[in-house]
Amino acid sequence: MSAVGFIGLGIMGSGMARNLFRAGHSLYVWNRTRSAAEAFAKELVNEQCGESKGYSSGNAQVHVADSPRSVAGACNVIYSMLSTPEAALSVHLDAERGTVQELGPQKMLIECSTLDVSTMERLSEAVHQRGALFLEAPVSGSKVPAQTGTLIFLCSGDRAAYDRVASSGLDVMGKASFFLGERCGAGTKMKIVVNMIMGSMMVALAEGASLAESCGLSTETLNEILGLGAMNSPLFSMKLPNMISSQYEAHFPLKHQQKDLRFAISLGDEMEQWLPLSAIANEVFKAAQASGFGDYDFSAVVEALRNKKRRPSN
C-alpha cells in the first residue's frame, strides 16, 4: 500500500495511525512533541518485529517527519487529528511549516478533528486554492474505538476524496462512515450535534449519581438498574463506574467535551435554534473545568456537582 501521512498522535490519533500501519500502510507521522512521535514509531515496529529493527517492519515503514509540511510533501493522502481550531490552523496554514505549502493536484487532506464550521471552511478553501482535495471527517468515538478501529466517520466535502479513502483508510479505522454531502461543514455540524447530545446525557447521569449519593443510595445498584431498563446504553455503563470510583483516565478529555458544547451553542445561535439543556450542560462542564478537571475524562463532570454540594453557603 502507498504511504499515508498522519498528523497528531494524541489519544485518538495514535490509535487511528496504528490501525493504518497494521493494515499495511507505511506512515509519515508528525506530532508537536517529536519524542512522542519517535516512541510511537518504535512501538509500531517492535509490535510487528518483536524486537527493535529501526523504523521499518517488512514492507511497512514509519517515518517521523520534521514538520507537517514534510508529511504533505511525502504523501498524497494526509490525515489530521488535532485538538483545537487554533492547532489545526497553525499546523495546516503556517507559511513555512504548514501542510498546505506542499499540497497540489493528486493530494488530499482528510481532517478528522472536531473543529468549528468556520475553521473547516477556511481549511477547505486553502486546500482547494492549491488544487488539492479536502474531506472533513470528524469521528464519533473515543480512545477505545480509535484503538479497535470502530470509529464512525462523519464526512463531507470532495466526493472524490471520500471515494478514494473510504475502503483503504476509513474502513480500516472505523466501523462505519457517512458521506453527508459536498458542502463543507455538514460533517462538522453532525459531529457537533452528536457530541451535544452526549454532553447533555453525561450531565444528566452525573446529576442522578449525585442525587443518589445524597440520598444514601447505592450508586452500584443504580448502575445495575439502569443497565436492565430502557436507559441501558454503552455510555452510561462505561461512565457511571468512573463516577462511582472517582477514577477518570482520559478517554475523551473533559475540556474537549466543553469545547464541543460551546460549538453547539454557537451553532444554535447561528441557526436561531433554542438549546436550553445544552446551555445548562455547558455551564456544568465549565464548572468542572474551572475546578481542575479539564484534562480528565469527561465523566469527571460529576465532580462539579459534588464540589457544588460541598461548598459552604454564604
Q: Which residue has the cell 463506574?
A: 241
H or E element, residue 206: helix 186-214
Q: Is 122 helix (H, G, I), strand (E, B) or coil?
A: helix
How far is 295 from 252, CA to CA, in rounded Å?
Answer: 9
Region of 232 on the Ramachandran plot (φ > 0 left; ψ -120 to 50 alpha; else beta): beta
Question: What are the residues whose beta carbons fall under 8 Å from the beta carbon of 86, sequence distance 6 or more?
Answer: none
- Residue type for 209, please? A
| Catalytic position from the list 107, 143, 189, 191 | 191
Q: How far apart are CA 215 and CA 128, in angstroms?
A: 58
- Letter for the amino acid at 116? D
- Tell me the three state secondary structure of residue 55: strand
Cα 218 from Cα 137, distance rounded (Å) = 41
Q: Residue 65's closest CA among 116, 9, 11? A: 9
C-beta of residue 14 within 8 angstroms of C-beta of residue 148: no
Maximum distance among all Cα pairs of the chain, rounded to whole angstroms: 68
- How far is 137 from 187, CA to CA, in rounded Å? 6
Q: What SS3 class is residue 94?
A: coil
d(CA 26, CA 42): 13
State yes or no: is 191 an active-site residue: yes
Residue type, 235: L
Cα–Cα dist 69/22, whole Å: 24
Q: Active-site residue numbers? A: 191
